[in-house]
Amino acid sequence: MAMDAISVIRTKRDRAALTDEQIDWVIDAYTRGEVADYQMAALNMAILLNGMDRREISRWTAAMIASGERMDFSSLSRPTADKHSTGGVGDKITLPLAPLVAACGAAVPQLSGRGLGHTGGTLDKLESIPGWRALLSNEEMLSVLDGTGAVICAAGDGLAPADKKLYALRDVTGTVEAIPLIASSIMSKKIAEGTGSLVLDVKVGSGAFMKTLDDARELASTMVGLGTDHGVKTVALLTDMSTPLGLTAGNALEVRESVEVLAGGGPADVVELTLALAREMLDAAGLKDADPAKALADGSAMDVWRRMIAAQGGDPDAVLPVAREQHVVVAPTSGVLTRLDAYDIGIAAWRLGAGRARKEDPVQAGAGVELHAKPGDPVVAGQPLLTLHTDTPERFGYALEATEGSFDIAPEGTAFSASPVVLGRVD
């Protein structure tokens, strides 16, 4: 059946449903280069504005899976469990979580991505470790997974290649937030990856792509349904992203904080969410009696981290990059910090060089924002609230614009109630 990109774009532009044949053709043609980036960008925008029904999303996901190969972990002696976050600010949870779950007996084949807009990317963070490699062949990935219990790497060229192209395009065309595109992007890779179970961390709030609990629940339900339909046991936690996670947003900055968590310290919210997701992953993998808190406390999770980093060429003892320049933002008044906006902090980190404006842009390993207080903390006029890090000080002015209005300080004695980290669950 003859197809062309313009007809497919017009169908969705005019709020009609794409046929199975249109979806199969456009994904295949885009993967082969027959459909240009600017044409797929137009279709993505039409999808963002007009949506897709359940059949369209399912077919779109299946077409992306069919664009490449599927992996098989049946040779492993351990049950497999994976996790995916929809992206947030300071969301370094994958780094301590993967080795923690592996230390409890599961195999964690963690395919991760790079930064999207104001949100950080796991691979960008880990690449701040000297020597560490994100790109592994399927054989290397299986070898690391078999030897250490966990691997964090990029999806290979053969795994959902349609998504690899679409993922980068969405970042630079303002279409990251489209629920059908988010759901199909995540689930096509996870289903093709071959994991036996999957836990989704769906972020909610100003620093997330889903700003409201209703939208986040819709996305979670869509992805849980896609996973279940393809035989992957899938559950989702809805978690707060109105405030940055932890005390850092940036690449090397977040690696340092993750190592602190693995060493038995780290910020309370990072530890809490890491343990909550670990328990869900272990339960989904049939290891509900395992105790992730014990594995964090006794050093076994740290042992797995060190083996995992070394197995991918990294030096777990290497000194991490530090930005050449810093700028401190101080509290203008004394009182209680009642708001620290995740989106504003994410934009500031991005502008400092921790993220990308174009898909081919490099990132600065040391760039980002360090937080010296979180909502609920008392502050004194003149004390540091934020430290901005970058190698290029000409970025400070642009980043400081993002921090203006990013926090509120109430009078001393003001009552404050923090939002819970976990807001809900979908299964």
In the 3-class helix/strand/coil scheme, how is 271-309 assigned residue by residue? Answer: HHHHHHHHHHHHHHCCCCCCCHHHHHHCCHHHHHHHHHH
- The stretch 85-89 carries a mean pLDDT of 92
The answer to whether 389 is a known catalytic residue is: no
What confidence category does residue 168 fall into, taking pLDDT thresholds of 50, 70 and 90?
confident
Rounded average pLDDT over 72-85: 94
Q: How far, in Å, CA of 359 to CA of 64, rounded?
A: 20
DSSP 323-368: -SEEEEEE-SS-EEEEEE-HHHHHHHHIIIIIS-SSTT----TT-E
Q: Tens of pLDDT along 231-249?
A: 899 999 999 999 999 999 9
Is the distance from CB of 423 to CB of 213 less than 8 angstroms? yes
Boundaries of every domain in the chain: 5-51, 82-311, 325-410
Q: Count the helix, strand and coil residues of the chain and give each as a percent rounded to the nearest 5.
A: 45, 15, 40
84 is known as an active-site residue: yes
Q: Structurally, what CATH architecture does the domain formed by 82-311 represent? A: 3-Layer(aba) Sandwich (3.40)
* The Cα angle at residue 90 between residues 255 and 348, in degrees rounded to 5: 110
pTM of the entire predicted model = 0.90
The question of whether 372 is a catalytic residue gets the answer no
Q: What residues contact residue 226 under an 8 Å CB cut-off, 6+ apart? A: 57, 58, 61, 183, 184, 187, 191, 234
Which one of 124, 163, 269, 344 is the catalytic residue? 163
CATH of 5-51, picked from 3.40.50.150, 2.60.40.10, 1.10.287.810, 1.20.970.10, is: 1.20.970.10
* Residue at 321: amino acid letter: P
Whole-number CA gyration radius for the chain: 21
Q: What is the pLDDT of residues 315-326, one digit of tens each?
A: 999 999 999 999
Catalytic residue among 59, 125, 170, 307: 170
- Specify which residues 85 forms β-bridges with: 201
Label residue 299 by pLDDT band (50, 70, 90). very high
In contact, 206 and 342? CB cutoff 8 Å: yes
Block residue for tokens 């609230």: 385
Active-site residue (options: 84, 92, 190, 217): 84
Asked if residues 389 and 250 have their Cβ atoms less than 8 Å apart, the reply is yes
Domain 325-410 has CATH 3.90.1170.30: yes
Give Cα separations from 391 to 321, 352, 366, 401 (angstroms): 10, 8, 7, 18
Could you check whether 82-311 and 325-410 share the same CATH topology?
A: no
Q: Of these residues, 83, 118, 165, 189, which one is catalytic?
A: 189
Active-site residue (options: 67, 112, 184, 185): 185
pLDDT at 252: 98
